[in-house]
A and B are shown apart, each in its own frame.
Chain A
Amino acid sequence: NAGVTQTPKFRVLKTGQSMTLLCAQDMNHEYMYWYRQDPGMGLRLIHYSVGEGTTAKGEVPDGYNVSRLKKQNFLLGLESAAPSQTSVYFCASSFNRGNTGELFFGEGSRLTVL
């Protein structure tokens, strides 16, 4: 079982460059999430989706855009990367909404912005 797969796993960007992180899940989950994890800050929700074609802002959405064109994929885009976006990014999916449903996480994508 692949579960939740994130690509790429590592990336180094220069300030101002753009990139897209791809998340794919094979569990037919409706809900998908993008979090960032920083030392001392825990996991913070960037954007989420409750189904194909829908997206919504989370706690820290500025500087990021997302798209959910297909149910199994959730893309996170950085249009103009900044050093403050250096972080480890985690994608997660769930069958039920986050209140009681288990979140299945990917292995993370480590992004460094110079």
Chain B
Amino acid sequence: TQLLEQSPQFLSIQEGENLTVYCNSSSVFSSLQWYRQEPGEGPVLLVTVVTGGEVKKLKRLTFQFGDARKDSSLHITAAQPGDTGLYLCAGAGSGGGADGLTFGKGTHLIIQP
């Protein structure tokens, strides 16, 4: 079973601060996705990273896939209250099955005005 550990579990910071959340595993993933979930809604895809060492930017969010494709990070610059939510990483195994996504337990992020 492939496991994804996310850290921290909870993070509360002031508006304007920077933060990084991590998604780690001992397993290799063929790709990794990051989702954001707001209260009362389903997760929404932010980004998919596929290549080891890949860096993708989405406005103030920077996503990195580890060189060995076992870990990923999400860095937010100058956090805004609108960034508040549950951030989930999901890894796709190399097996290629339709059920190939393994979700981490998520990081609850609160940005205080």
- Chain B contact-residue range equals 20 to 34
What separation, in Å, do the CA atoms of A100 and B48 have in the docked complex? 7
- Decide if A52 is an interface residue (CB 8 Å cutoff): no
Whether B105 pairs with A100 at a CB distance below 8 angstroms is: no
Whether A103 pairs with B101 at a CB distance below 8 angstroms is: yes
Whether B101 pairs with A40 at a CB distance below 8 angstroms is: no
Per a CB cutoff under 8 Å, which of B44, B93, B104 touches A105? Answer: B44
Inside 8 A of B105's CB, which chain A residues have their CB?
Answer: 40-42
Per a CB cutoff under 8 Å, which of A4, A99, A107 touches B100? Answer: A99
Closest to A4 in B: B42
Whether A98 pairs with B99 at a CB distance below 8 angstroms is: yes
Query: A20 to chain B: closest CB distance in Å?
Result: 19
Closest to B1 in A: A59
Q: What sequence of 0s and 1s flags, for each residue 84-95 of chain A, a beta carbon within 8 Å of any chain B beta carbon?
A: 000000101000
B residues 1-44 in Cβ contact with A at 8 Å: 30-31, 33, 35, 40-44
- Decide if A74 is an interface residue (CB 8 Å cutoff): no
Per a CB cutoff under 8 Å, which of A4, A45, A90 touches B99? Answer: A45
Inside 8 A of B113's CB, which chain A residues have their CB?
Answer: none
Given A40-B105, A41-B105, A42-B104; A97-B43 close (CB under 8 Å): no
Given A42-B103, A43-B103, A102-B48; A48-B42 close (CB under 8 Å): no
- Decide if A27 is an interface residue (CB 8 Å cutoff): no
Q: List residues of chain B with CB under 8 Å of any chain A CB.
A: 30-31, 33, 35, 40-45, 48, 50, 88, 90, 92-93, 96-101, 103-106
Given contacts A42-B88, A100-B30, 9 further A-B contacts (CB under 8 A): A41-B105, A42-B103, A56-B99, A58-B99, A99-B96, A103-B33, A103-B101, A107-B41, A107-B42
Question: Lowest 5 CB-CB distances: which A-B pairs, in order?
Answer: A105-B42, A42-B105, A99-B92, A98-B101, A43-B103
